Structure 1
Amino acid sequence: MFDYTMLNDYEFEILCRDIMQIKLNKPLFVFPRGVDQGIDICDSKVHPEILIQAKHYAKSSYSQLFRSLKEELPKVDKHRPKQYFIMTTQPLTRQNKLEILNLFSKYMSDISNIWGKNDIDSFLEMEKNSEIVQQNFKLWLNASNVLSIIQNQNVFLDSAELIEDIKSKIELFVSTSSYSEAIDKLEENNVLIIVGAPGVGKSTISEMLLLHYIEQGFAIKYATNNNLSDLKKSISLKLEKKELVLLDDFLGQHYLRLRDDQPNELKTLLSFISRSSSKKIILNSRITILNEAMEWSLKFNDLMNRYELQKYLIDLDKISKYEKAKILYNHLYFNGIPSAYFKNIKVDNNYLKIVSHKNYNPRIIEYVTKKRNYQSISPEGYYNYVLEKLDHPADIWRDEFENRMSIEDRCFMNTLYSLTDTNVESDKLEKAFNSRIRNEKSLDTTTNHFNRVLKRLTESLVTIRFKEKKGLYQF
């Protein structure tokens, strides 16, 4: 029932600790990464009598798991616990458990000390243990089949793009204090306005809040162009019907996009939702664009002042170093950073210097953990590479654009940017692009540059979605 592949190894250890604290009715401790000496979880930091080994082997074979357990035996012999437990995301047969029991027979009474995936599933499926599922966000997400619910709902105006965006973010998501505070504000007021600098996680938190409310039975209203007229028409007037509206980057990503009639349309929408007991709305915007809109439009300024209490600023200075470290670890883990590079981040507590950096930003962390960006860097130079990008974050995009992209790629990006701040149909983009490159004498215009550029850039800087069989492109 549960898909543990969205958990990193540390998150799985936390889950195992939570389960065994209930099972054993004892407080348990998780040791810091890299200094456990064979201990993942134990009952005492000084002289442990109970040891618990967490093996996150969801994507591995049983033979790989067993080889790893053999390597643990000398460490267990060193500690000589009274009880030893093994918990793994690998499905185990009875014969598998008997083989493992034979290996650790001095510290286990029977196979009940060995928990495979099915045993963990059974424990979490019990109603009395539902709190653990709620606390572990990614488990709750999978247990609820939220993505399946989204896929089958006909209440979305544009569901395909949103689903793909959410899928790519779930495993990297860290449930921070910002997420919890945003839920509190939304529960209290029905209206939540999330603002912050680029890359701090406004869209991610908005989408994870959306999943939270889908699990509670809310239908979702969302459109990529944030067309308020369409969204308002789609909302049910039935007061008992639970609905949530998402306006992502509602003022535009690159520059202010505010029509004369938009403040009035937004005002009526917010007023209706704020008075309703079953409707909610999430809006997010870059703080610079929000401030520009408030300065440019007196009506919009009055509207935002009216909802000042519902405004939530995501301030990275308020996110703890522990939360920043979890974000860093998730990106390193799920992007498959090789162990030699990983080691360079851990040595001399280099990771602490990263999460303490004044320019720390999840978007920069995402960039430096993508293989295409660090693959030319040696493992020994990886930490310095990360630090350099944090010291000079503007250089990330300048280097990408000026030094790592071909002239036809740059022509494509300039064309796309000049056409839209949301998305543009592929045939219009192709026509404008081909017209643009005719002036580039260095390019062979008999070649289909459009398709070749798309193949390169859709892996990094450009996304495509389909609506009514038409391809739509955006940054």
Structure 2
Amino acid sequence: MEYDFSKLNDREFETLGASIIEKILTKRVETFKSGRDGGVDGRFWIGKEKEGIIQCKHYISTPYTTLISKLKSEELAKVKKLNPAKYIFITSKKLSRLNKQEIKKLFHPFIISEADIYGYEDLNSFLSEKDNQGIVERNYKLWITSTSVLDLIYNNAIKGRSESTIREIEEKAYKYAITENHRKGLKILEDNNVVIMTGEPGIGKTTLADNLALYYAAKGYEFCDIEENISEAESIFREREKKNILFYCDDFLGSNLYDAINNKRDSHIVKFINRVRKDDSKKFILTSRTTILNKAFSLSHRFQNGNIRENEFLLRVENLTNVDKAKILYNHIYHSNLNDVYLDKIYQDKRYKVIIRHRNFNPRIIEFVTDSGRVGHIPPEEYWKYIIKSLNNPEDIWADYFQNQTDDCVRALTFLTVYNNGKISEEELRRSYNTFLNIHNVNLGDQTDKSFEAVRKLATKSLLNRNQIDEDKFEYVLFNPSIADFVLGSYSDDSNLISNIIKSLENEISIDYLQALSGLGKKINSSNLKRIQENLFDFFFERKLNEEDWDFLILLSFLDFFNEKTNKRIERFLNALIEADSPNGNRLWELLIILTEFEPQIEFKDFDFLHDFIEDVSDEDSLRELFNFIDTYNIEDEHILFQAQTLIENYLGSIVDNNDLDVDYSKHINEYYYPEGYPEYDIDLNGIESEVQESLDYYLDGFNESVLERIDFDMTRFVSNLDVESMATRFFESYEPDYERDYDGGHYSGSSYEDDIDAIFERS
């Protein structure tokens, strides 16, 4: 078994050392607050009066010659002054037999035996013993990075994106500081099986979610990164019904909010969350910005009625104690690789207290101002000003790096990823990057290689992450969601840039995203949107019309169909669509709205052109719009009426089958018993049928009644044709009586040293 001590900071290593000696000696070991220890990291008593001392040196990457030199110059005098009856020395460094002999000789007579000297090999050997696993598990980072746990984590990740995600999470875990929020998040997951981390950007939602996910993956849960693909999650749920699975969704809804609600994915999301809540073998961790979740609740009655906010865990900076903040700051400093000349600026006059107590303290800001790769270009004498500027103006946190430490080509890859809704395949990014270089005024700067392969390596791990999603396929996502916030806030007035980004991407995703941004108020004002739409029409219109790319043209028109400069071309496109031979597409809802708006200028001879657009409609908004359109234009087309009847029956059948109506089948059990150990039920099928009909009547409220009559839709007949017995049987196959769970979520002990901030930062 191998343990990676490099992931621990010096304070964590001292705690580990004390725990090991306590177990070996079976004596209580006293530990003291961090800080100047006078050579004492732990103390134990031999009899009543003889004092034993433990000293830990976390010098894992320090040459042995430097270690022995420091012991001679700094530690020896301390030990002589303490004059302990027994002295135990622990280091994370590998030690040879000769090394131990030299250390024993140096500390004679206080080190009684070489067995009182513990090096890397001794620690690994001790911790690998089965009886000592409790010590390992109490030390989160050590446990997570052990070879056996890493094997378990990686082997349990669903292949593809999930495997890549969990590796990235594990690689960043060494900077994590366990705070009270970690314990609260675990408690919510244990009690509810679902937790939605919310809070403002940079508060640490993703970091907390990542490490909770890592915790459960280390406990044997399969890890599934679903990226809001609820259908994928539902499929995995069914395939692995009896297995422990942790579902993970970072930036829940995000910029897809309007798409989720318009396409009725909100009902699937709510249903899936409630399904996980009822299954103790599953866990679901989500993160969401507070503003996005608030908007979702204001727009979606399904979110309101689904009570999913009961799972919310709102992270606030105010929830972090000053000691929590001190741990976060110290951990980042320890692992920062910053030169001492920079760290001196933080320690000078105890300035770390200024950072900890700043009103804008934020884990993301701490990560930035302690990242040697991002601040290395700043002269040491300017470093403190940089920290304060970042704290005073957190919205500019990406500005310096994005605008001063990258070039136009790296920025281009970032722009393209942002406007492709935050993720893009490598093939798409390569193609759109090459197009962008040809149509946008890009400053190529020096003579270095600007090929896609060269530039993507510069962008990866600073602005973008490259994830493997298949054997030979890769996908790029933003290094951090705040990059999108920065780009959208800083470049929203540059209509030419945005136009050229969309031209380069040339896909429906980017136009959808642009539409969503205007709806979310992301600083793309109406005049800019008009200019962008005009620019895109000039660039795409003739080609897309010749290609009969109807969906693309529908979305392009839907951006702003009140724009006088594009209206004539929209009319031309609609007339071409109406006259086309069997046109097809998937954007019925937007098309019907545009047609209704342009109806005075557009003459409908017949409605054959709608047939293929209607064929595969499965969302509620499109159905409602179709019914209203049929009524408004008094459509008698038998094929369309038949399609409408089939679609409404299929749609209602699917929501009944998926139980999106939240029918409580358990209310309809008259008797539940176990003859010979097998459960049987006496089910009131008539009661279930009545509840289904009542729920559907309520659900259809707002649908165009005259069209329902015209297509001869009969609710009673529809419900009577449902296979209610099969639906009930599926439910009861997994049904168990809801007994009260007697569960102890676990106890975590720890001290809160409110007055120990100076001690945490005290240098030896």
TM-score calculated relative to the size of structure 1: 0.90
- Asked whether the 8 Å contact 1:203–1:248 carries over to 2, the reply is yes
> What is the CA–CA distance in structure 2 between the aligned matches of 1:10 and 1:299, rounded to whole Å?
48
Q: What is the Cα deviation at residue 378 of structure 1?
A: 3.4
Partner of 2:265: 262
Distance 1:118 1:401, change over 3 A: closer
Within-5 A mapping of 1:14-413: 14-24=15-25, 25-33=27-35, 35-42=36-43, 49-71=51-73, 72-143=75-146, 145-153=148-156, 155-156=158-159, 158-223=161-226, 225-236=227-238, 240-252=242-254, 257-259=259-261, 260-303=263-306, 306-413=307-414
Aligned to 2:6: 5
> Secondary structure, in 3 states, of the residue corresponding to 1:467?
strand
Match of 1:433 in 2: 433
Q: Is the 8 A contact 2:225 2:249 kept in 1?
A: yes
Compared with structure 1, are the counterparts of its residues 139 and 444 closer, same or farther at alpha carbon in structure 2 (3 Å cutoff)? closer
CA distance in 2, matches of 1:403, 1:125: 48
CA shift for structure 1 position 372? 3.1
Q: For 1:419 and 1:79, how far apart are their aligned partners in 2?
A: 65
Q: Deviation string for 1:120-149 (max 9, x for gaps)?
A: 234333444433222210111133633322
Q: 1:307 to 1:413 in 2, by over 3 A?
A: closer
SS of the residue 2:466 aligns to:
strand
- Inter-CA distance 154–4: structure 2 relative to 1 (3 Å threshold): closer
Separation (CA, whole Å) in 2 of partners of 1:78 and 1:28: 19
The answer on whether the counterparts of 2:192 and 2:311 sit within 8 Å (CA) in structure 1 is yes
Residue 336 of structure 1: how far off its partner (Å): 0.8
Partner secondary structure for residue 397 of structure 2:
helix
Q: Identity rate of aligned residues, in percent?
A: 32
Query: How far apart, CA to CA, are the structure 1 residues paired with 2:129 and 2:431?
Result: 58
Distance 1:340 1:290, change over 3 A: same
SS, match of residue 268 in structure 2: helix
| C-alpha contact 1:328 1:365 (8 A) present in aligned 2 | yes
For the 8 Å contact 1:465–1:471, the answer to whether it is kept is yes
Q: Partner of 1:171: helix, strand, or coil?
A: helix
Is the Cα–Cα contact under 8 Å of residues 157 and 163 in structure 2 kept in the other structure? no
Contact 1:411–1:436 under 8 Å retained in 2:
yes
Change in CA separation of 1:398 and 1:411 when aligned onto 2, cut-off 3 Å: same
1:375-400, Cα deviation, whole Å (9 max, x unpaired): 23333443332122111112222333
- Structure 2: tracts of 5 or more residues without a match: 479-764
TM-score under structure 2 normalisation? 0.57
Match of 2:719 in 1: none
- Contact residue 221 and residue 235 of structure 1 kept, 8 A: no
Gap change, CA 1:386 and 1:49, over 3 Å in 2 = farther
- Between the aligned partners of 1:434 and 1:17, the Cα distance in structure 2 is 58
- Per mean C-alpha deviation after superposition, the further-off stretch among 268-277 and 256-265 is 256-265
**Aligned-partner Cα distance in 1 for 2:381–2:43:** 34
Distance 1:257 1:247, change over 3 A: farther
- C-alpha distance in 2, partners of 1:332/1:354? 12
What is the rounded CA distance, in whole Å, between the counterparts of 2:476 and 2:427 in structure 1? 10
Q: 1:13 aligns to what SS in structure 2?
A: helix
Cα distance change on mapping 1:383 and 1:26 into 2, 3 Å: farther
SS in 2 for 1:51: strand
Q: Give the secondary structure class of the aligned counterpart of 1:145.
A: helix
Of structures 1 and 2, the larger Rg is shown by 2
CA 1:156–1:319: 2 relative to 1, 3 Å: farther
For residues 160 and 473 of structure 2, the distance between their equivalents in structure 1, rounded to whole angstroms, comes to 15
Given that residues 157 and 222 in structure 1 are in contact (C-alpha distance below 8 angstroms), is that contact kept between their aligned partners in structure 2? Answer: no
Q: Which residue of 1 aligns with 2:457?
A: 455
CA distance 1:23–1:229, change in 2 (3 Å): same
- Matches of 2:257 and 2:240 in 1, distance apart? 36
Q: CA deviation at 1:424?
A: 0.8
> Alpha-carbon deviations, 1:300-332, whole Å to 9, x = none?
2322xx133321111221112222222212222
Deviations 1:216-242 (A, max 9, x none): 32222223x321101110114666422
Name which of structure 1's ranges 433-442 and 239-248 shifts more when overlaid on structure 2.
Answer: 433-442
C-alpha spacing 1:26/1:150, structure 2 compared with 1 (3 Å): closer
Task: Count the aligned residue pairs.
Answer: 468
Aligned residue for 1:474?
477
Instruction: Tell me: CA distance 1:159–1:27, structure 2 relative to 1, closer, same or farther (3 Å).
Output: same
Question: Are the counterparts in 1 of residues 150 and 218 from structure 2 also a CA contact under 8 Å?
Answer: no
Contact 2:51 2:84 in 1 (8 A): yes
CA displacement at 1:272 relative to structure 2: 2.1
**Further displaced range: 308-317 or 359-368:** 308-317
Q: Is the 8 A contact 1:17 1:30 kept in 2?
A: no
Q: Please, what is the CA RMSD of the aligned residues?
A: 2.7
SS where residue 463 of structure 1 aligns? strand
CA drift of 1:181 comes to: 0.8
1:201 and 1:96 map into 2 onto residues whose CA distance is 43
Distance 1:188 1:144, change over 3 A: farther
What is the CA–CA distance in structure 2 between the aligned matches of 1:254 and 1:68, rounded to whole Å? 57
Deviation at 1:12, TM superposition (A): 0.4
> What is the distance in 2 between the residues matched to 1:413 and 1:241?
38
* Offset at residue 168 of structure 1 (A): 2.8
The answer on whether the counterparts of 2:13 and 2:58 sit within 8 Å (CA) in structure 1 is: yes
Consecutive unaligned residues in structure 1, runs of 5 or more: none
SS at match of 1:284: strand
Please tell me whether the aligned partners of residues 144 and 215 of structure 1 are also in contact (alpha carbons under 8 angstroms). no
Match of 2:625 in 1: none
Structure 1 residues 93 and 436: CA distance shift in structure 2, 3 A: closer
Q: How far did residue 27 of structure 1 move?
A: 4.0
